[in-house]
Every structure is written in structure tokens, then in C-alpha cells.
A = this chain, B = another copy of it.
Amino acid sequence: MRPARRQITGFSNPTVKALRALREKKHRKAAGRFLAEGLRLLTDARECGHVPETLVLADRRDPHPLLTVLEEAVEAGGGEVIETTPDILAKITGKDNPQAVAGVFAEFDTRLAAVDRKSADIWLVAQALRDPGNLGTMLRTGDAIGAGGLILIDDCADPFSVEAVRASMGAVFTQAIAQARWDEFESWLRRDAGQLVAASLRDAQPYRGGPYAAPCFVMVGNESQGLPEDYEMACDLRVTMPMKGRADSLNAAVAAAVLGYEVRAALDGSPV
């Protein structure tokens, strides 16, 4: 028999307030929890072994077999399923048209020490990346190119923000995520094999056909400043994409993808 479920119908309910607070970074950090929304994304998470601690559903929703599976998984895992109104769900997710379901997850371990560099031949690295959409897009691209994860250097957007989770299209659950200061990253990197490659304009060679080697760490910098010069100079390789027009740079997530796919092809032994 299905357990009785908590129904919440009041905007001022403390649980609603606590869930809604997870849209703000300080409350996420205090709670060690983050929000993910949408049946597809939550199903991807479940299939990767991440079942939410709390699942919030709209009370007037269309039935869906994947939703039933998800509800059962949450309850089997000792989590709570809460039903509420579509209006309250919209308030929690901050989205006009919420995808009828949201989940609360414990944040992952993001210490660099938890990264096993040998588990993948490509890693993405972002320095001072400020846009959560770019961050989520890099996670999504990392999943596509078979990267092991994303290493965030210095002050980046929060990978557990609703916007980053959404843009990742589920890759927040498949990619390792680490956060570190530059000097911490550099000393970790040099402790073992690893080629650090920057998308750069300084003293750079063409990105196409570059001498990439696994494990290859592909690094892009801040959206407006790019990488600090000393970070670039500490790289094993600086490469540049052709810029045929007036602009002198690409969107950071685009640069990571163009370079990441090039490294993927090189490591797979595609002819240059």
C-alpha cells in the first residue's frame, strides 16, 4: 500500500519556504542541498543512482509511468514525496511553467581530492566562470565528449544553482565536479601525469591538430577577462581557434566545446 503523503497547500508553509530558499546560494550552502526539476532530468538522475531526498509534485498532474517509478524510488530510499499546487511548485522552482516535479538532492563532494584523473582521458576546467548557463552547458558538453568532469577554478558560478542544473540537462549527475583555488589545482595537477591546455590568444598554436595527450585538461577563462596571463603561461599548451571576423573571442562554453571536440578526435586517433 502506498504510504500517506504530505499535502501542502499554503504558500507560507515552512517546507515551501525552505525549498524555495534553495534557489539562493547561501541557503543551498547552509543546507548542503540543491534543487533539480523536470521528469526527464530527475529520471536521468535516478538512472545514474541519484534519488532525491524529497520529491515535490503538482497535485493535479498527468500520470506518467516514469513519474511512478521515480515516486517509488524515493519512497524506497526513505525519502519523502510531497504533493502541492502548481502555483506553489512554480514558486519553488522560480519557473512560470514548472515541469510538474522537482527534487531535492544532497550536494556532491566537490573536493579536488575526490577526482580520479585516470577515470577519463579529458577533463574540462573553467576559471572564474560567472554565468551559470555557461557552466551547465560545459557540463552537458563534457558528458558528450566523454570527459570525466568539470574542475572549477577560483570564484565560479555555483554548479548547483537551478540555472546551471537546468542547462546541464542532467550532466550535473554524470560529470564529476570539483572546486579549487588555482594554486591548489596546479599543485594537484603536477603531482601526476596531465596535460593542461588553454584556449588562448597568447603565444598560441592552432587548435586543430595540436599535440594533445591524455589525461588532457581543457581550460577556459572568465567570460570578460579570459584567463590570467600567469595561468596561461603555466599551461603545457596554448591553442587558438581561428577568429575570422571582428570579435577576438568566443563564448566560453563554445570555446570549451570546439576545443573539447578537437581533443576528443585527437585522442580517438582520428587523422588530423
Contact = CB atoms under 8 A, between A and B. Distances in A.
B257 A174 contact: no
Interface stretch (A137-145, A152-160, A194-202): A137-145
Given A48-B246, A170-B247, A171-B247, A144 B253 contact: no
A87 B171 CA distance: 39
Contacts of A189: none
A265 B249 CA distance: 18
Contacts of A145: 242, 244
Interface in A107-141: 133, 137, 140-141
A63 interface: no
A271 interface: yes
A169 interface: yes
Interface in A199-233: 208-209
Contacts of A106: none
How many copies altogether? 2
Interface in A240-272: 241-247, 249-251, 253-254, 257-258, 261, 264-265, 268, 270-272
A146 interface: yes
Band of interface residues on A: 35 or more
30 contacts: A133-B133, A140-B251, A141-B250, A141-B251, A141-B254, A143-B245, A144-B242, A144-B244, A144-B245, A144-B250, A146-B244, A146-B245, A167-B251, A169-B247, A170-B246, A171-B245, A171-B246, A174-B245, A174-B246, A209-B270, A242-B261, A242-B264, A244-B264, A250-B257, A253-B254, A257-B257, A257-B258, A258-B258, A271-B271, A272-B272
Interface of A: 44, 47-48, 133, 137, 140-146, 167, 169-171, 174, 208-209, 241-247, 249-251, 253-254, 257-258, 261, 264-265, 268, 270-272
Given A167-B251, A254-B257, 7 more contacts: A137-B251, A140-B250, A141-B250, A144-B243, A169-B249, A241-B261, A271-B271
